[in-house]
């Protein structure tokens, strides 16, 4: 399979998603938006499109961030969805999927930076791709916003600080507001590029020291199983 990553900033790295793809022997390609690399025009050779996070929002304009074209990315996302390929969005990527399908993103009730539990909904508990998550799972978070909901979308999981942590838009289209791809190396990059001066004003923002002391391996392995299941589902529909 061929997996294409859209990476908005160097410090918002694919982390465990890239590790999974390499371990499974898949071919990879990248659009590094921060380096002004062009988005792919032909999507037929893409099996998985993975749209990573970033400090931008879907409403960020080209004047505000010249290397980020939200509308062009939404057009690409919709093109890949219509080609019946897999689309995964992480954080900003999840919000862009919702926008591409006509659902406006929202601000999350709480800013979340850290490792906190998500809780599966009834839809999540009964969904075969998420059956191995259990009723709750501690995962990474690094966000202020959350994806919008289309009429057909199902919320798979929520957290105390955010009601839309995982959203199923289609059989092979998912938005993950949470960051299950985090590794200590990715966390170090994120810390270097964020401001923790107002940490005491937020219930769900951990200190850099706490963030670096977390073990992210368990959630990475849960992510790998989800991706394995998603790959099998996709291959069975071809």
Q: List the beta strands (DSSP E) in 64-206.
A: 86-90, 106-120, 136-146, 154-159, 166-170, 173-176, 204-205
d(CA 135, CA 122): 9
Percent of the chain, pLDDT > 70?
100
Using alpha carbons, select from 90, 81, 64 the residue that is nearest to residue 7.
90
Which pLDDT belongs to residue 48? 98
Which pLDDT belongs to residue 238? 77
What's the pTM?
0.97
| CATH number of the domain where residue 138 is located | 3.40.50.880
Which pLDDT belongs to residue 224? 98
Q: Residue range 68-90: average pLDDT?
A: 98
- Beta bridge partners, 137, equal 118
CA angle 29-31-32, nearest 5°? 125
Which pLDDT belongs to residue 237? 87
In which band, very low, low, confident or very high, does the pLDDT at 183 lie, cut at 50, 70 and 90?
A: very high
User: Residue 127 is part of which domain span?
Assistant: 2-237
- Mean pLDDT across the chain, nearest whole number? 97
In which band, very low, low, confident or very high, does the pLDDT at 98 lie, cut at 50, 70 and 90?
A: very high
Model confidence pLDDT, tens digit, residues 102-152: 999 999 999 999 999 999 999 999 999 999 999 999 999 999 999 999 999
Q: How many structural domains does the chain have?
A: 1
d(CA 175, CA 172): 10
């Amino acid at each position: 399979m061929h997996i294409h990553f859209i990476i908005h900033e160097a410090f918002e790295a694919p982390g465990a998603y890239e590790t999974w793809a390499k371990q499974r022997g898949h071919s990879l390609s990248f659009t590094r938006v921060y380096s002004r690399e062009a988005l792919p025009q032909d999507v037929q050779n893409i099996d998985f499109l993975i749209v990573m996070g970033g400090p931008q929002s879907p409403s960020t304009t080209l004047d505000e961030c010249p290397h980020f074209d939200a509308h062009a990315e939404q057009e690409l996302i919709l093109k890949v969805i219509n080609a019946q390929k897999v689309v995964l969005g992480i954080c900003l990527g999840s919000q862009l999927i919702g926008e591409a399908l006509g659902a406006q993103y929202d601000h999350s009730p709480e800013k979340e930076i850290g490792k906190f539990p998500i809780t599966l909904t009834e839809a999540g508990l009964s969904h075969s791709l998420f059956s191995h998550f259990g009723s709750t799972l501690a995962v990474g978070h690094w966000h202020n916003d959350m994806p919008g909901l289309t009429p057909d979308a199902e919320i798979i999981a929520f957290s105390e600080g955010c009601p839309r942590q995982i959203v199923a838009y289609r059989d092979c289209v998912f938005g993950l507001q949470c960051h299950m791809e985090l590794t200590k190396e990715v966390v170090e990059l994120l810390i270097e590029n964020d401001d923790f001066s107002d940490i005491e004003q937020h219930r769900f923002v951990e200190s850099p020291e706490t963030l670096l002391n977390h073990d992210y391996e368990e959630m990475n392995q849960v992510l790998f199983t989800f991706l394995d299941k998603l790959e099998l589902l996709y291959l069975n529909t071809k």
